[in-house]
A and B are shown apart, each in its own frame.
Chain A
Amino acid sequence: MKRDTTNDTPAPKRRSFPKAFLLSLPMMLLTFAMLTGGKPISGPSQIVAFLLTYCFLNLFFFLMIYTGKTDRWRAPVFSAYSVAFVISFVTHLLEARGSMALSEANILRAQAPFCHMVIPMTLIPGALTKTIIFPGTIVGSFASISSMFILWIGASLSLGRGFCGWTCFFGGLEDGFSRLIKRPIIKRINPVFTYLPWALLLFIVLTSAAALSPVYCTWLCPFKAVTEYVQVISVKTLVQMVIFVTLFAGLVVTLPILTKKRIQCGLFCPFGAFQSLTNKVTGFAIRIDPDKCVKCGRCVRSCPTFSLDDESVASGGSRISCMKCGRCVDLCPKGAIHYHVKGTEPRSSGTLQRLLFLYPAFLFLATMGGGFFKDAIVRIIKLAATGHMI
């Protein structure tokens, strides 16, 4: 591949301010409706939280439309969403049961909020035994199993693995850590590791089916360190906690900082591998125009989940693991990469197609994240006013 030795900057795709505003207007209306839920907001802290959330989300969407840059404005919203989620979720746990830890009683009474990472492990036992191997509520409570399945189905049909780039409340933590330093310290990673999520997916699906227990949640999930975990009351649970904290420190914090890549998402997360399959269902893809591409390799180097390589670039698109975050689209110096609606001409204009993707992607992010943003802001206001968040 030819090396780009010049410092080309990507061609700007700015719109006029009035046009950008008009194109952002539907999102303003939609987010207003989704954030209020059609109900009036009461209480000064709730009103402040709503206004801050609403303005923050719509400002960044407007900037996406106005500047023509996607990932540049997606990333801060996505990372802020993950931080807001952690604040909101942890404070809810502390309010509800006084601890982040899941007690034996919580498990026996099936009171754990359901997480999307469990989905692949539940499918075989669910199909064969009509039971869900997770201690959650089937329907009717916060993050009930059924409601999370509906959210996952909706996200998969509309975004495919764009779920990981726009919706996953864990991914934003890594995304944020991966942007802390200017240049990567570790530059080369063996491409064999891009298959590890698939191997781990196969392993956890099979062992969870055999054990009728969610093996990844019990032993391997790094995000247990910042959300909820089984109470440490034995050697086994202590070993589990050590594994969670080590994986979080390594895969979510340290390696993303050093490599400027989403290591957990790209090289470990079995749910990500599973979600890659839904890229076959969604109507959107990333396409590379071979007439414009100069094979500089910038997209391959910058992709956070290793979804571009020489082979995929030569064939005009990204690999199945593409999260549609838009970083390659932003960075391409020749504007050769664009969002594409499947079934349409490969070299058709990317402008309309980008808009068609941005609307559902940002709407999902805003609706999922909006609730957590508002709650986190209310908690912060409470902390400032009273000295505690709960």
Chain B
Amino acid sequence: MNRLRSVMGYTWAGLAVLIILVTFIGNGYLSRRLAAATGVTVSPWITGGEVAKTSDYGTYRTVVHRPVFDGLVGERSEGFVQVDYEPGSGPPAVVEERVDFKRDKGIDFLVRLDTRAGTATVKDLAGTVVAIDHVYRVGKGWAVRIALRRRM
């Protein structure tokens, strides 16, 4: 028994160098396999969530993300929707987007963005909007997060 433990101990210790070589040499392959096996993504609280709708208006584009209420378990009572603005050539000074984040064919709110100043206002049409959470500068465009309250 002692001998067996000793052999196992030396084997595990000896494998340490091999583990390190595999870790570095196989890092690319192993990291892809790990990512695929776990299926993890970056938290939507950071990225804004998956894209739900893209609208091309010629001189600019808007991207509406899905509503983010994701909690640790279940959903939180408060969340947000992110609306991105990407300018093309000759974009207008003020853009307005009608957002139906509940996908019930009704307009839930209107968000208005001053593309020069980077300020935004929101008009609540469904009683779920809390306020404009933040306006982020992203490259030449903007990302607006509208804080929402989830109706139970």
Name the CB-closest residue of B to A26: B17
Q: How far is the CA of A209 from the CA of B70 in the complex (A)?
A: 12
Within 8 A of A (CB), among B93-136: 136
Name the CB-closest residue of A to B45: A212
Interchain nearest-CB distance for A118 vs B (Å): 12
A268 contacts chain B at the CB level, 8 A cutoff: no
Q: Across the interface, which residues of A come within 8 angstroms of B71, CB to CB?
A: 212
Q: A130-B39, A132-B42, A134-B42 are in contact. Are A150 and B17 (CB under 8 A)?
A: no
Q: A107-B46, A139-B35 are in contact. Are A155 and B23 (CB under 8 A)?
A: yes
- Nearest 8 pairs between A and B by C-beta? A343-B9, A154-B23, A146-B31, A360-B16, A158-B16, A283-B12, A343-B5, A283-B13
Q: How far is the CA of A138 from the CA of B19 in the complex (A)?
A: 22
Q: Across the interface, which residues of A come within 8 angstroms of B21, CB to CB?
A: 30, 34, 363
Report whether B137 and A104 are in contact in the complex, using a CB–CB cutoff of 8 Å: yes
Contact with B along A202-214 (1 / 0, CB 8 A): 0000000110110
Report whether A109 and B138 are in contact in the complex, using a CB–CB cutoff of 8 Å: yes
Q: How far is the CA of A150 from the CA of B36 in the complex (A)?
A: 13
Report whether B46 and A135 are in contact in the complex, using a CB–CB cutoff of 8 Å: yes
A129 contacts chain B at the CB level, 8 A cutoff: yes
Contact with A along B1-42 (1 / 0, CB 8 A): 010011011101111110111111001101110110011111
Report whether A108 and B46 are in contact in the complex, using a CB–CB cutoff of 8 Å: yes
Q: Across the interface, which residues of A come within 8 angstroms of B58, CB to CB?
A: none
Q: How large is the interface on A (under 10, 10 to 19, 20 to 34, 35 or more residues)?
A: 35 or more
Q: Across the interface, which residues of A come within 8 angstroms of B89, CB to CB?
A: none
Chain A CB count within 10 A is highest, among B13, B47, B48, for: B13
B152 contacts chain A at the CB level, 8 A cutoff: no
Report whether A159 and B16 are in contact in the complex, using a CB–CB cutoff of 8 Å: yes
Contact with B along A59-101 (1 / 0, CB 8 A): 0000000000000000000000000000000000000000000
Set A134, A136, A158, A212: member contacting B72, Cβ < 8 A? A212
Known: A126-B38, A213-B45. 17 other contacts (CB 8 A): A105-B139, A109-B47, A131-B43, A132-B43, A137-B42, A139-B32, A153-B23, A154-B19, A154-B20, A158-B17, A212-B45, A283-B12, A283-B16, A357-B13, A357-B16, A359-B17, A363-B21
Q: A133-B43, A356-B14 are in contact. Are A150 and B143 (CB under 8 A)?
A: no
Report whether B72 and A124 are in contact in the complex, using a CB–CB cutoff of 8 Å: yes
Report whether A131 and B44 are in contact in the complex, using a CB–CB cutoff of 8 Å: yes
Q: How far is the CA of A138 from the CA of B41 in the complex (A)?
A: 7
Q: How far is the CA of A353 from the CA of B139 in the complex (A)?
A: 55
Which residues of B are at the interface with A, using a C-beta cutoff of 8 A? 2, 5-6, 8-10, 12-17, 19-24, 27-28, 30-32, 34-35, 38-48, 70-73, 136-139, 143
A344 contacts chain B at the CB level, 8 A cutoff: yes
Q: How far is the CA of A135 from the CA of B41 in the complex (A)?
A: 10
Q: Across the interface, which residues of A come within 8 angstroms of B9, CB to CB?
A: 283, 341-344
Interchain nearest-CB distance for B65 vs A (Å): 11
Q: Across the interface, which residues of B come within 8 angstroms of A145, CB to CB?
A: 35, 40, 42
Q: Across the interface, which residues of B come within 8 angstroms of A209, CB to CB?
A: 72
Q: Across the interface, which residues of A come within 8 angstroms of B139, CB to CB?
A: 105
Interchain nearest-CB distance for B33 vs A (Å): 9
Set A128, A146, A153, A364: member contacting B35, Cβ < 8 A? A146
A284 contacts chain B at the CB level, 8 A cutoff: yes
Interchain nearest-CB distance for B130 vs A (Å): 18
Interchain nearest-CB distance for A177 vs B (Å): 28
A256 contacts chain B at the CB level, 8 A cutoff: no
Q: How far is the CA of A230 from the CA of B96 in the complex (A)?
A: 30
Q: How far is the CA of A137 from the CA of B42 in the complex (A)?
A: 8
Interchain nearest-CB distance for A213 vs B (Å): 7
